[in-house]
Every structure is written in C-alpha cells, then in structure tokens.
Amino acid sequence: MSNTTEHTVKAFDDDIGELRALVSEMGGLAETAIGDAIHALIRYDLETAARVVEQDDRIDELEAEVERHAVRLIALRAPLADDLREAVAAMKIATVIERIGDYAKNIAKRVPVFEHRVEIEPLSILPAMAQIVSEMVHNVLDAFAARDAEKAKEVIERDEAVDDFYNSLFRALLTYMMENSHNITQSTHLLFIAKNLERVGDHATNIAEMVHFAATGEYLDDRVDVSETFAPEPEEDS
C-alpha cells in the first residue's frame, strides 16, 4: 500500500471515529433524558423535568453537528461500500436519536399536569414499560458502539413486549376513563405518555435495524407495526 492511501485510510478512520463518537454522545444524552423524564413523572420532580426539556437543545445541536460532519466526510473522502454505509447509518441514527430526545422532552413537559395526583390504577404499568424501553435504548446504543449485529437483533425482538404493554395500558386507561370521568385530563396525558414511550421503542428498533445494516450490509425484514392500528398519535409539540 502506498503512503498516500495509508494516509487517507487513517484520516478516514479518524473522521468516522469522530462521527460515531458524536452519535454515541447524543445517544447518551437521549438515554439519560428518557430515564430522567420517567423518573420525574413518577416522583413529580419538576426540577428534573425542566432539565430534561432544557437539555434537549444540546441533542439538537449535536444532531446538526453529526450531519455537518457526515456530509463533509462523504463529500471529501468519497467513501465506498462499507464505509459509505457506515457514514450514512450514523447520520440516520442521529436523526432517530433526536426524535427519541423529543419524546423524552414531551414526557417531561407533561409532568406539571400531575400536581394533584389521583390514584390512577393503570399508572402502575407505566414504570415497567418505561424500564423495557430504556433498556432497549441502552442496549441498542451498546450495539452501535460495538458494531454488534446480534445485540441489535435482540433489541428488535423486545419491541413486541413494548407494544403489548402499550396495548394493555391503552385498554386499561380507556376503561378507567369511562368509569372515572373526573380524572379524564390526567388519564389522557398518561395515554400520550404511553404512546410516546411506545414510539421510543419503535425508534430503538429502527436504530437496531440500521446498526444491523451497517454491520452486515443486510436489511432485516420490515416489521408490522401492530400498535398503529388503534393507537392515537402523540400531538407534535416541540
């Protein structure tokens, strides 16, 4: 190998390394945001909730940085095959992580609604659901860092459990709302929170697919999203 190619290879490795590191940093922020948002909700911790909302800006900033970086890398180095795939995947993953951050922010924004908390029985399902979703995000970011296609696949397999949680929570909440019309506001917010979590699970799955693709070059079969059939979409506040 000639000296120039060696140099180019080294420079490319540095660039892609930086790109991946930025994505990982974003992931760390989003992961923490989800955990904190749920924590804030359960403990009615307004301070933490406000911090989650505030720190979302940093995630957005990083996304822009990732994009700049990726575009420059592709333009300057004109990577091929595996390398190109990796660069594009990193950019796409950053976009999805940014969405996860938004959902965390949405959840955090709803915390003040629960000031006078009523005992909403279905609420007890929420932490368990949040736990699985957080684990999915955590594991998919680990898979990304390790370029571990197998671990990515495991994440995808868990999405079904999240959908099940969501569906049962959805039903329980609807029933509850019918019986307790005075708690309708809080119940509705809970419904949206559950939907947000369910979407985070979907996004973790999307990332897993991209990690898998970047690592192996193979697409996984598209999943059928059952929850979409009767689930309300969260309103888009950002």
Partner 1 sequence: MAEITPPRAIVALLTLFGLGWAGYAAGAPPLGLALGCLGGAVFGAILLWRPAPERPEPEPQAAPEPPEEALFPTLEELMNAIDDPSLLVIGRRVVRANPAAQALLGTHIIGQDVRLAIRHPAAAERLIGDTKDDESRIAIELVGIGERERPWELVIHELKNNTRFVRLADRSGTQAAEKMRVDFVANASHELRTPLASLLGYIETLQDGAAKDKKTRNRFLEVMHGEASRMQRLIGDLMSLSRIEAERFRPPAETIELGPLIDEACQATCATLGTDLAQIRIESADKSVAIAGDRVQIAQLVSNLVGNALKYSPEESPVTVAYESVSETMVRLVIEDRGEGISPEHLPRLTERFYRVDPGRSRSMGGTGLGLAIVKHIVERHRGRLNIESEPGVGTRVIVHLPKNPPTLSSARNESVTKADAPSLVAMRDSR
* 85 belongs to the binding site for partner 1 (CB under 8 A): no
* 31 belongs to the binding site for partner 1 (CB under 8 A): yes
Q: Which stretch binds partner 1 (CB under 8 A): 70-78, 142-150, 160-168, 212-220?
A: 142-150
Nearer to partner 1, 10 or 171 (CB): 10
Nearer to partner 1, 138 or 223 (CB): 138
**Options 99, 138, 153, 223; binder of partner 1; rule CB under 8 A:** 138
Q: Which stretch binds partner 1 (CB under 8 A): 42-50, 143-151, 157-165, 168-176?
A: 143-151
* 216 belongs to the binding site for partner 1 (CB under 8 A): no
* 167 belongs to the binding site for partner 1 (CB under 8 A): no
**CA distances in angstroms from 194 to 122, 162, 167, 184, 202, listed in the order given:** 11, 10, 9, 15, 13
Query: 3-state secondary structure string, the chain?
Result: CCHHHHHHHHHHHHHHHHHHHHHHHHHHHHHHHHHHHHHHHHHCCHHHHHHHHHHHHHHHHHHHHHHHHHHHHHHHHCCCHHHHHHHHHHHHHHHHHHHHHHHHHHHHHHHHHHCCCCCCHHHHHHHHHHHHHHHHHHHHHHHHHHCCHHHHHHHHHHHHHHHHHHHHHHHHHHHHHHHCHHHHHHHHHHHHHHHHHHHHHHHHHHHHHHHHHHHHCCCCCCCCCHHHHCCCCCCCCC
* 28 belongs to the binding site for partner 1 (CB under 8 A): yes
* 164 belongs to the binding site for partner 1 (CB under 8 A): no
Q: Do 166 and 195 form a contact (C-beta atoms < 8 A)?
A: yes
Q: What track of x and - describes contact with partner 1 for positions 42 through 71 (by CB under 8 A)?
A: -------------x--x-------------
* 40 belongs to the binding site for partner 1 (CB under 8 A): no
Nearer to partner 1, 34 or 123 (CB): 34
Nearer to partner 1, 41 or 62 (CB): 62
**Options 96, 100, 141, 215; binder of partner 1; rule CB under 8 A:** 141
Q: Which stretch binds partner 1 (CB under 8 A): 31-39, 75-83, 165-173, 226-234?
A: 31-39
